[in-house]
Amino acid sequence: MSPHRIFLSVITALICLQASAGGRFESVSWLPVDKVRKRAKVVLLDKTPSTPTVNIAVKELQKYWDGPEVRLGISASESLPADDGYTIARDADNGVSISSRSALGLLYGTYDLLRNPDFEGTVREKPFYKHRILNHWDNLDGTIERGYAGKSLWRWKELPDRLSPRYQEYARANAAIGINGTVINNVNASPKTLSREYLVKVAALADIFRLYGIRVYLSVNFASPMVLDSLPTADPLDPAVIKWWERKADEIYSLIPDFGGFLVKANSEGQPGPMDFGRSHADGANMLAKALKPHEGIVMWRAFVYSPIDADRAKQAYMEFQPLDGKFDPNVIIQIKNGPIDFQPREPYSPLFGAMPVTDEMAEFQITQEYLGHSNHLAFLAPMWTEFFRYVNPASLKAIAGVTNIGDDANWTGHPLAQANWYAFGRLAWNPALTAREIAGDWITKNLVDISKTPVGVVESLIDMFTTSHEAVVDYMMPLGLHHIFAYGHHYGPEPWCDVPGARADWLPKYYHRADSAGLGFDRSPSGSNAVEQYPEPLRSQLADMSTCPEEFLLWFHHVPWDRRLSSGRTLWEELCLSYQKGCDAVEDYEKVWKEARPYIDPEVYADVRERLATQSRDAKWWRDACLLYFGQYSGMPLPKGVDKPAHSLDYYEKVKLPISNYECPSPKLLDSVR
């Protein structure tokens, strides 16, 4: 880095540290809180340079550590963990030493120590994944696609001259959980992002994030050369197009020397891509990869595509990408959503994982709750992500990305407890072997309640509430492998009946649930679309057979007769009804757990979550009643004992319409007014 850049970075660090001193925005739950009255003693061991990042570590400790002297040491010793890992140990005189091979490792160690002041033995940590990246679906006009926590944090009109203090808080919060990359704009990317005007703004953000070890990446629009500079084509094999991207990469790196690279959504949902010019995904990705290579940048090329072939939606990504195995440049990573369709409440893993042995792959999780009740519902997502890791070996992936749930709401995530999902993503990206219970326990006991004052029973109930909450949402929305029966567009409430003239068939619920008088579910066995053939044995055979298919995926892979007996001895219809009821009952229980926890929770957080749980409970019943009335028309069977009678008729539910866009969460008032 040039001396000029280093100077700028130092100035930015000083501005940032000053801006946060008032603590106005320090509401990310896992960031340390001010309890130190006198400055803690922090010593830099010999040859440890006081770089801007080391200085941040020193200041964090001086301000927030109330233990004995801390010694920070950078050393090249191979006995220390690599990749910004660190050790934390207690010295003979009771001082604490944090050691790392890098300044960033010291910062990570600092946040770990502040989170775990009572550590035992020697802590030895290093991140599992090299790239731990947030994806923002933020638009340049400040809206966030599928964002439910207000507007974008990035104030494009003010940048680069005015820097919101929240940029630094964002960087701190991410560094504190080990996130080291951020794609700051929507994958439905505006070409304008790559204009000089915007790159200068992006560079201002990068200057802040760099100090915290966070690299900036951009989503790019494949037709940018045509839109920005009127090239007649964006054909990836055209020499003028190749030159355009090379020059653009040079320009970006002249402004942002540690720029991470590009994320690309191509030939999907109306986005341009190489196939518009008769070229393949590999041609497109490699052209960008070659432009970035001299600067050590990477291309994350998304596999979320709609194949031109009229195949089962769940098969398309595999069909299009698997034959391209071996055709991608080494600095391309294929970014694949966890499931084969689209972030449904529960999906089997995408069979593309593991199917391209010589191509780098990464997983894309969705932290924002597009299909899980937006910011109104509690759905702790670590259980969903750890379930994914039970099928996909973490070591088979090169990186991990999460579509973030962060916006400019004062509490960052809309639902106060949804901060735990941001936290869980960071922790799993650092260590995918952690369990959902460990992460929930950690977040709850360090951020939600004061463990020394809260009865064990209350803490345990809160942890149970978190770790069962995703399953509860699945139960009251789409149990037994049902999927995509959401309202069109905004994806909030139930609409299994939905029909939109002119819409793609595979955007409509009936395509997925296939309810008829014979039964329910999508036959993806060899007698149907045969999507099961994309999975390796022995899983393929297990999924293909209705009697061995795990019941949580039953209706994903099979069209099941209404009167077929499941493992419980109940018929499909009975099991379906009781699952919906179980989901509703679970949310009522959460309301009780929350009430019992009241004395131990911050009053504002308490009141906010109480109201959201009440909405969630009403929504759960809305889902249950609407879906059971609708499917009941086909099963022709009565509700079994133990299932509450619907409050209204099917006709009533079919008329409920929420006037919301793809970037807002319905308020309780709005929900009350329409149903």
> b vs e for 480-509, b when ≥16 Cβ sit within 10 Å of the residue's Cβ?
bbbbbbbbeebbbbbbbbbeeeeeeebbbb
Among the listed residues 269, 516, 588, 672, the single catalytic one is 269
Length of the chain: 675
Nearest to 356 by CA among 524, 536, 236: 536
Task: Assess whether 370 carries a catalytic annotation.
Answer: yes
- Which residue shows structure tokens 């042995």? 357
Task: Indicate which single residue of 69, 145, 545, 552 sits in contact with ligand GCV (rule: CB under 6 A).
Answer: 145
Query: In angstroms, rounded to a whole number, what is the distance separating the alpha carbons of residues 638 and 573?
Result: 9
CB of 486 to ligand GCV, least distance (A): 10
Task: Indicate which single residue of 27, 62, 143, 188 sits in contact with ligand GCV (rule: CB under 6 A).
Answer: 188
Q: Does 137 bind ligand GCV (CB under 6 A)?
A: yes
Site string for ligand GCV, 317-356 (x = CB under 6 A): -------------------------x--------------
Nearer to ligand GCV, 103 or 401 (CB): 401
Q: Residue 71 in 3-state DSSP?
A: strand
Cα angle 177, 183, 186; round to 5: 130
Helices 3-19 and 196-210 pack at an angle, to 10 degrees, of 70
Tell me the residue type at 461: S
Nearer to ligand GCV, 61 or 187 (CB): 187
- Cα separations (Å) of 471 from 206, 239, 436, 474, 538? 38, 52, 13, 5, 26
Tell me which residues in 478-517 interact with ligand GCV (CB under 6 A): none
Nearer to ligand GCV, 365 or 497 (CB): 365
Task: Assess whether 604 carries a catalytic annotation.
Answer: no
CB of 171 to ligand GCV, least distance (A): 24
Phi, psi of 510 (to 5 degrees): -65, -30
Is the separation of the CB atoms in 266 and 304 below 8 Å? no
Query: In angstroms, rounded to a whole number, what is the distance separating the alpha carbons of residues 620 and 597?
Result: 22
CB of 607 to ligand GCV, least distance (A): 31
Tell me which residues in 233-292 interact with ligand GCV (CB under 6 A): 265, 269
Question: DSSP assignment of 630-665, as one string?
Answer: HHHHHH--PPPTT-PPPSS-HHHHHT------TT--
Handedness of CA 631, 637, 642, 647 (dihedral sign): positive
Nearer to ligand GCV, 269 or 296 (CB): 269
Task: Indicate which single residue of 245, 304, 594, 631 sits in contact with ligand GCV (rule: CB under 6 A).
Answer: 304
CB of 269 to ligand GCV, least distance (A): 6
Nearer to ligand GCV, 342 or 475 (CB): 342
Interface with ligand GCV: number of residues (CB under 6 A)? 10
Among the listed residues 169, 312, 342, 442, the single catalytic one is 342
Nearer to ligand GCV, 304 or 425 (CB): 304
How many angstroms from the chain centroid is the CA of residue 399?
A: 13
Helices 196-210 and 239-255 pack at an angle, to 10 degrees, of 40
Site string for ligand GCV, 643-662 (x = CB under 6 A): -------------------x
Task: Assess whether 360 carries a catalytic annotation.
Answer: no
Nearer to ligand GCV, 342 or 664 (CB): 342
Phi, psi of 109 (to 5 degrees): -65, -35
Cα angle 357, 358, 363; round to 5: 65
CB of 536 to ligand GCV, least distance (A): 26
Contacts of 235 (CB under 8 A, 6+ apart): 241, 274, 277, 278, 279
Is the separation of the CB atoms in 101 and 75 below 8 Å? yes
CB of 137 to ligand GCV, least distance (A): 5
Nearer to ligand GCV, 342 or 347 (CB): 342
Report residue 87 as tokens: 């050790």
Nearer to ligand GCV, 264 or 392 (CB): 264
CB of 139 to ligand GCV, least distance (A): 10
Handedness of CA 659, 664, 667, 669 (dihedral sign): negative
Query: In angstroms, rounded to a whole number, what is the distance separating the alpha carbons of residues 205 and 258?
Result: 12
Is the separation of the CB atoms in 167 and 161 below 8 Å? no
CB of 265 to ligand GCV, least distance (A): 5
Among the listed residues 84, 138, 364, 370, the single catalytic one is 370
CB of 381 to ligand GCV, least distance (A): 16
Residues annotated as catalytic (active site), given as ranges: 269, 342, 370
Q: Using CB under 6 A, list all residues that contact ligand GCV.
A: 137, 145-146, 187-188, 265, 269, 304, 342, 662
